[in-house]
Amino acid sequence: MSELRMLETTRTVDSIGVVRKNFDITDVKKVLFIIPPTMDFADYVASSPTNVATIGAHLKNLGYEVRVIDAGVHKTGFEKILEIVKDYKPDAIGLACNFSTLHNPSIKIAEMIKNNYKNVPILIGGNHATAVPEAILKDSAIDFVVIGEAEIVMPHLLSTIKDNGDLSQVNGLCIKDDSPFRTLPSDFVKNLDELPLPDYSLFDMSKYPLYNINSSRGCIYRCTYCASGVIYKRKYRSRSAKSILKEIDYLIENFGKKTFWFSDDLFGQNHAFVEELCTALIEKNYNIKWSVVTRATTIPNKLLKLMRKAGCTGMSIGIESGDNDILKVMKKDATVASFEQTFPPVKKVIRARAFFLIGNIGETKENVWNTFRLIKRIKPDYGTFCPVVPLPGTELYNQLIEMGIIDPKTLNWDKFYGIDHDGNYDRESIELTSKWCKLTPKEIKDYCDYGNLLSLIIGLTPIEIVKRIRRDGIRSQFKEDKEKASRLFRFARRNPRSFFSTVKIWLTA
């Protein structure tokens, strides 16, 4: 065996020498992907996991046998995962760690597997793992962190493991050692159409109420709180409309018709793509419903009616704040005036949800009240408020470390979410947010509640109901408003103080 050197994290790739890990295996044919559950199994199932499905399809095309455990969806416990590993006997295991709440479960699963199968190489990828690879590898049984796009990195890594080759030549890795070290960055997939369609035969698709489609990767903007740049580095690449139509055909033919969700970080940056996709959906009479996440300033007004005609029923738009000073802090590259100009035309054509964050660096009560005032002016169909969480790898996260406000070594990843999908706030996370803004934990929670309620109250005013009936029809609107009124009534009964405080904001802000 060639020389294997122990490395410090400060060493360059040129100084590494030859790096090998002897897993004592003769071949790598079977790959098991595990999407871990959170520690409390409180996973929210929204849509199909397209990234793992795409990587799985790519490896299958290269001759690998692939299996996936979506443990959160199936409520698969750690011991059961170990049983599946024992039964399947994989040659390599890949863990999906996209969110911070999967940090500790990933480490626990890896430790259990290594205690029983010490020769199985374990790798991990995803936004969170890519952002903090050294923290993932330190004191864990995980061998590699895939930094970047797995379709590029994994085939090279698996073939190098099989041949007991030089791991330092595999770009896009952080490798476990006495001190974890990184290899050179990997390339990006230049043409997304060259990737196979996601292989959803690897999943029980009956468990997912929505189909998830990625029509692009990356985002060109620089918002300090957003983790899009962790993997994609603000490089935007779009698939072709032809590729998307193929995927829609495949999903409908194999799993039936459901609502589609385009989960791109920035849907619609490629206007020609949007026009081509919508035109094809109309001409071929797909008759499907779909929604997108985007910026109000991204999609031109001339495309909105075409999107609606093609089946688009909703746009989720990140506004984040109604205060220009806070927008500058967040590097949103937008102003309150721009939202006032671009949001209403969207809402006039398509149901529009606005996202807001409470607890940005230095944020005050007056900043928050400016956000409430903006809601009164733009009147979103829905408003969603969340506490700020400094996601690893974001500029906000790094800034707070430099300011000495947070210490990565003491962060509780299990509680790194602020609010769960049932609307429950995490006390520990909100207390953390209060350290860098001028709001107390109680104020952060209250303002999130007030913002959500304010959007409901405004949406249930007679003039807004009439506008939505004109836009969506009375049947659709009756169902939607009934649900809104029910939510408002339940909250008012459960928390009358917050309800009356929100009414006061509505009347006076």
Distance CA 186, CA 147 (A): 8
Closest alpha carbon to 187 in 239, 124, 233, 127 = 233
Q: Is the same domain home to 271 and 418?
A: yes
Distance CA 246, CA 419 (A): 36
Predicted confidence band of residue 248 (pLDDT cuts 50, 70, 90): very high
Q: Is the same domain home to 238 and 341?
A: yes
Residue 429, in any domain of the structure: yes
Using CA atoms, how far residue 282 sits from 279, 305, 309, in Å, is 5, 12, 7
Predicted confidence band of residue 450 (pLDDT cuts 50, 70, 90): very high
Q: Which helix (H) or strand (E) holds 211?
A: strand 210-213
Structure confidence by residue, pLDDT tens digits, 413-435: 998 888 876 778 889 999 999 99
Name the pairing type of β-strands 173-175 and 144-146. Answer: antiparallel
CATH code at position 293: 3.80.30.20
Using CA atoms, how far residue 158 sits from 153, 164, 225, 382, in Å, is 9, 10, 34, 46
Is residue 79 predicted with pLDDT exceeding 50?
A: yes
Q: Is the same domain home to 167 and 214?
A: no
Q: Which of 17-26, 71-80, 139-148, 434-443 has the lowest mean pLDDT?
A: 17-26
Residue 191, in any domain of the structure: no
Residue 441, in any domain of the structure: yes
Using CA of residue 177, residue 179, residue 180, residue 183, what is the dihedral sign?
negative
Residue 189, in any domain of the structure: no
Residue 132, in any domain of the structure: yes
Average pLDDT score over the chain: 92
Closest alpha carbon to 251 in 194, 212, 305 = 212
Q: Is the same domain home to 302 and 270?
A: yes
Is residue 8 predicted with pLDDT exceeding 50?
A: no
Q: What is the pLDDT of residue 13?
A: 52
- By percentage, how much of the chain surpasses pLDDT 90? 84
Q: Which two tokens stand for residue 47?
A: 């849509």
Residue 139, in any domain of the structure: yes
Q: Is the same domain home to 224 and 134?
A: no
Q: Is the same domain home to 338 and 378?
A: yes
Q: Is the same domain home to 218 and 176?
A: no
Q: Is the same domain home to 132 and 273?
A: no
Predicted confidence band of residue 96 (pLDDT cuts 50, 70, 90): very high
Structure confidence by residue, pLDDT tens digits, 45-64: 667 899 999 999 999 999 99
Q: Is the same domain home to 374 and 501?
A: yes
Is residue 3 predicted with pLDDT exceeding 60?
A: no
Q: Which helix (H) or strand (E) holds 113?
A: helix 103-116
Is residue 205 predicted with pLDDT exceeding 70?
A: yes
Residue 195, in any domain of the structure: no
Q: What is the pLDDT of residue 166?
A: 94
Q: Is the same domain home to 362 and 434?
A: yes
E strands, 408-462, in order: none
Residue 2, in any domain of the structure: no
Q: What is the pLDDT of residue 2?
A: 27
Is residue 93 predicted with pLDDT exceeding 60?
A: yes
Q: What is the pLDDT of residue 326?
A: 98
Say how many domains are in the chain. 2
Average pLDDT of span 232-248: 94
Average pLDDT of span 366-375: 98
Domain's final residue, options 131, 149, 182: 182
Q: Is the same domain home to 421 and 461?
A: yes
Name 468's Cβ contacts closer than 8 Å, sequence gap at least 6: 351, 381, 459, 477, 480, 481
- Print the domain residue range for 223: 206-508
Domain's final residue, options 149, 182, 215: 182
Q: What is the pLDDT of residue 7?
A: 32
Q: What is the pLDDT of residue 11?
A: 42
- Judge contact between 99 and 131, C-beta under 8 A: no
Q: Which two tokens stand for residue 254?
A: 């194999």
Predicted confidence band of residue 21 (pLDDT cuts 50, 70, 90): confident
Is residue 355 predicted with pLDDT exceeding 90?
A: yes
Average pLDDT of span 8-31: 72
Structure confidence by residue, pLDDT tens digits, 275-288: 999 999 999 999 99
Distance CA 143, CA 21 (A): 9
The DSSP line for 346-410 is HHHHSEEEEEEEE--TT--HHHHHHHHHHHHHH--SEEEEEE----TTSHHHHHHHHTTS--GGG
Q: Is the same domain home to 223 and 133?
A: no
Predicted confidence band of residue 262 (pLDDT cuts 50, 70, 90): very high
Predicted confidence band of residue 234 (pLDDT cuts 50, 70, 90): confident
Is residue 464 predicted with pLDDT exceeding 60?
A: yes
- By percentage, how much of the chain surpasses pLDDT 70? 95
CATH code at position 102: 3.40.50.280
Structure confidence by residue, pLDDT tens digits, 169-183: 999 999 998 889 999
Structure confidence by residue, pLDDT tens digits, 34-50: 999 987 766 656 678 99
Domain's final residue, options 147, 182, 217: 182
Average pLDDT of span 205-213: 93
